[in-house]
Amino acid sequence: MIFAADWLELREPADATARAAALVGTLCDLALNRLPLVLRDMGCGTGSMGRWLAGRLPGPQHWILQDRDPALLAVATVTGPAADGGTVTFETRQGELSGADLHGTSVLTASALLDILTRDEIDGLAAACAEARCPALLTLSVSGRVEFDPPDPLDAGLTAAFNDHQRREGRLGPDAVAAAAEAFAECGMTVHTAPSPWRLDSGPLLEKWLRGWVAAACEQNPALTSEAGPYLARRLGNPDLRAIVHHTDLLAVACP
């Protein structure tokens, strides 16, 4: 699945605010025993995960930014310094992650990725991390719940259709975090989860997200299409509209 750089840029501040910083403390304790750090960001986009995390972990750090999209890799960066002033460097690699890549990796990271994976892919990821004893910090997975203020009668139907759209072609969508927690635990890893909700006020991000959310719901359930235009008009015409888009972050670590 390919994401446009302008969408990733628009959502980066909301992502940074939403990510569960509480999980980083546990990761920090592990990182101190693994210096220098080699961090591999899977499906890195433009590198926003590294830009958020690098300054929260000790250094020196070397980030490997991995993605299928060469256009995103061309603008991907991670900036430093580390939390203790250590150096932060990065390189980019195009292509898919293999289990062998994790050997020698201190931490695997990813954002908004789990929910587009199948159960087999999640099982394979958990097994590879466990074999390599590589911690995995997987953030911003959709949980299937959206809260609007004010509410609208069509919210529930759109939410259900969007969640089904996320589950198409075997993807786990809002079921991904529970499946991943089970998979990592079955591989002998300790799993921590924490909420990471987007809190969106009226503005460009809310509008772009809402239009995409409604379009996906209508693609899944065409019966909603006739109501979609009036719904968007009501929503986007209200300057006081607020939305909470619920996500969950997951940290899996190898048992001592």
The residues spanned by each domain of the chain are: 5-142+171-198+246-254
What is the chain's pLDDT, residue by residue, as a tens digit (256 residues)?
446 889 999 999 999 999 999 999 888 887 777 789 999 999 999 999 999 999 999 999 999 999 999 999 999 999 989 999 999 999 999 988 877 789 889 999 999 999 999 999 999 999 999 999 999 999 999 999 999 999 999 999 999 999 999 999 999 999 999 999 999 999 999 999 999 999 999 899 999 999 999 999 999 999 999 999 999 999 999 999 999 999 999 999 987 6
Amino acid at 4: A
CA–CA distance, 49 with 196 (Å, rounded to integer): 14
Other CB atoms within a 10 A radius of the CB of residue 180 amount to: 27
Tell the residue number behind the tokens 């969007």, with chain if given. Answer: 162
Give the closest residue to 49 by CA, choosing from 87, 11, 22, 85: 11
This model's pTM is above 0.85: yes
Amino acid 3: pLDDT: 63
Which two tokens mark 106? Answer: 């201190």
Sign of the CA dihedral 128, 133, 137, 143?
Answer: positive
CA–CA distance, 152 with 241 (Å, rounded to integer): 11
Amino acid 182: pLDDT: 98
CA–CA distance, 241 with 151 (Å, rounded to integer): 9
Q: Characterize the bridge pairing of strands 61-67 and 37-42.
A: parallel
Tell the residue number behind the tokens 């995103």, with chain if given. Answer: 72
Upper half-sphere CA count for residue 187 (Cβ side, 13 Å): 26
3-state per-residue secondary structure call for the chain? CCCCHHHHHHHHHHHHHHCCCHHHHHHHHHHCCCCCEEEEEECCCCCHHHHHHHHHCCCCEEEEEEECCHHHHCCCCCCCCCCCCCCEEEEEEECCCCHHHHCCCCEEEEECCHHHCEHHHHHHHHHHHHHHCCCEEEEEEEEEEEEEECCCCCHHHHHHHHHHHHCHHHECHHHHHHHHHHHHHHCCEEEEEEECCEEEECCHHHHHHHHHHHHHHHHHCHHHHHHHHHHHHHHHCCCCCEEEEEEEEEEEEECC
Amino acid 89: pLDDT: 97
How far is the first Cα of the chain from the last one, in angstroms, to the nearest whole number?
35
Task: Provide CATH code, domain 5-142+171-198+246-254.
Answer: 3.40.50.150
CA–CA distance, 34 with 38 (Å, rounded to integer): 9
CA–CA distance, 215 with 158 (Å, rounded to integer): 10
Amino acid 1: pLDDT: 44
